[in-house]
Structure 1
Amino acid sequence: MTKHTIPLQILDLHDDGFHPIIDVTLYGNSFKLVLDTGASKTAFDKTLLAEANADALISATDKLSTGLGTNSMESYTAIITDLYIGDLKIDEFEVAVLDLSTINIAYEQMAHPQVLGVLGGDILMKYQAIIDYGKKRLVLKVS
């Protein structure tokens, strides 16, 4: 079993908790993702994904996304083939694609960097994630 250790940044949301953030590389571009153990699926912002790869095939879905303060957000999906978390290349997988601009606007108002989206339970479970707030690291395991 191979372990991959990724540094965590902890964003202070000013009296509204904390968000653990990791750096990732998608199609050769650097981005930040929020670790979201409450998200069942990894989700990326539609605009930032299109900027990272204009050829990304983003498909409409008839599902309505819940969470993020709404239950009626338009939802899309995309197949991701070039995501690196640290030195770990994530196998081809499907992500939800949403308009996350309101999150990035809120982050900007708090002087935090924008995020590509959230790393959800699909990836965290598959790679047996260990989130260590004390040591500020994420450990992913590959069998």
Structure 2
Amino acid sequence: MRTKIPIDIIELESSNYHLILPTQFEGRENAYWVIDTGASKSVFDQNLADFIAHTEEGTEDLHAANMSEEPLKTSLGILKPLFFGKLKVDNMKVALMDMNHINELYQKVTDYKICGLLGSDFLLNYNAVIDYKRRVLKLSDQKTGF
């Protein structure tokens, strides 16, 4: 099954565009992700504990471009079930970090509260296709196994 989800394209600064994807945790209002094709791993805001099913022991190094020369130490978490359009995702594994600085940036331009960055791990796994013309993200429930 292929799911199409509308995306919003916002301009944070002149010619600086970001793709925003709405999702929904079971029984909750929308949560918003930034689609980050350059991120190797999906990241979730550690401050949104209600949506984290559990955390895993240990930390993981996360290399973040333009943030620091040193990798960030993040903890690992598994999210509660959430929906990307009609696609239900269980046990999504994410790096957890404080995203207040990202939300401060977005609040200058938009009302979106960002819950996370959707990285290439997720996009590859669900065969994501970004259709800029139609402003949709297409996902497949036929996971690639990446």
Deviations 1:18-54 (Å, cap 9, x if unpaired)? 1111101124332000111111111101002x1x34x
**Structure 1: segments with no counterpart, 5+ residues:** none
- Identity score, percent: 31
Instruction: Indicate the SS of the match to 1:97.
Output: strand
Contact 1:107–1:113, Cα closer than 8 Å, also in 2: yes
Residue 27 (structure 2) pairs with residue 33 (structure 1): no
Paired AA for residue 33 in structure 2 = L
Residue-pair matches, total: 139
Residue 100 (structure 2) pairs with residue 101 (structure 1): yes
Paired AA for residue 129 in structure 1 = A
What is the CA-CA distance between 1:4 and the residue it aligns to? 0.3
Residue 61 (structure 2) pairs with residue 64 (structure 1): yes
Q: CA RMSD in A?
A: 1.8
Instruction: Indicate the SS of the match to 1:106.
Output: helix
Paired AA for residue 66 in structure 1 = H
Paired AA for residue 65 in structure 1 = L
Distance between the aligned counterparts of 1:10 and 1:115, measured in 2?
Answer: 14
Distance between the aligned counterparts of 2:77 and 2:27, measured in 1?
Answer: 17
Partner of residue 44, structure 2: 44
Paired AA for residue 110 in structure 1 = V
Deviations 1:58-90 (Å, cap 9, x if unpaired)? 245333322151234330111124021011001
Relative contact order higher in (CA < 8 Å, ≥ 6 apart)? 1
Partner of residue 110, structure 1: 109
